[in-house]
Amino acid sequence: MDKQVKAITAGIILNPQKEKILLVRRADSMWGDAWSIPGGHIDFGETVEEALKRELKEELNLKTLKVKFVGYEQFTPETKPDKQFISLNFLVIANEQIQPNHEIKEAKWFSLNELNNIKHKVPNLDFL
């Protein structure tokens, strides 16, 4: 088993009123049935912000309005014990129109209050 460290980028996506957050269930079941913030890999030569915008466009056809770096997290998902991920997380303000592609099993806007009632892998939102 070849252990790897992978850098990814992810978006904590809020609607313009900052009252709803967009979460996804990934088709690859990296998080099982838990909701998570969308994102993905960084291509060679891309900035982290360019990679995030590309991933959000590819996976959700999402139009980003504003993007701001808010921090990083590192984790090893139970489903991928040989991979350690470093996730560079951004706060993203975006319109609510989405069209998920095949990589996304389900995408849904939640009110921030609903986070307490669902199984999710959302990073700390203390910066809000």
> Which is the catalytic residue, given 46, 78, 106, 114?
106
Compute φ and ψ for 99, nearest 5 degrees.
-140, 90
Give yes or no for a contact between 52 and 90, defined as CB atoms under 8 angstroms apart: yes
106 is annotated as an active-site residue: yes
In terms of Cβ atoms closer than 10 Å to its own Cβ (0-12, 13-18, 19+), residue 99 is exposed
For residues 34 and 3, give the distance between their C-alpha atoms in angstroms, rounded to a whole number.
Answer: 24
The type of residue at 2 is D
- How far apart, in whole angstroms, are the C-alpha atoms of residue 50 and residue 16? 21
DSSP 24-52: EEETT-TTTT-EE--EEE--TT--HHHHH
- Active site (catalytic) residues: 106
